[in-house]
Structure 1
């Protein structure tokens, strides 16, 4: 019986040592897992910050594009108005040119003293 007790005590001791070793190994794995999860959490925060920066930059670009579009629309309106003004000026120039020719024709009918008629 003493030898069976000794054998049982040895088996119990072996089981305890095995359990302690497995517990240590489990603790190391848990620590590594906790470290990895901490890194993941930290990186997730960094990714979140980057996404916020991208969103902010995209908003700024959208505002910039909107301003550019407004300015281009203003340039288009001014260009169209300039075209209308140029056409009106050309038309007025034609009218003035015709009137100048008519006035010259009327003035040619008159003779000033000391001047011969053309």
Structure 2
């Protein structure tokens, strides 16, 4: 499976892009795995403090596991899997995780109109 990350700022269109990707049978985007208060994995929101602490203790291992072991996706036939990471969620991923994985595809979502970004 080809792993990818959607990266961007809040309110930039990352969720919309995730929805579009999930409409394609060959791709699946798991969700916003590094929200500070919860783990949103395919719409299942884990808010337990122990789960969040374990995720943050080993963010690289957590993300690797989510990008390699897609729950139920093999039945669906998805050939590429990804997740959404916003810039403020876990800065260490951008400093270490991404540079150490040259095969990881990045989709950077950017919104030009900052006023609309905050107002929408």
Please identify the structure whose Cα radius of gyration is greater.
1
Q: Fold match, TM over 0.5?
A: no
**TM-score, normalised by the number of residues in structure 2:** 0.15
Per chain length, whose mean CA-contact separation is higher, i.e. which structure has more relative contact order (CA < 8 Å, sep 6+)? 2
**TM-score, normalised by the number of residues in structure 1:** 0.16
Higher strand share: 2
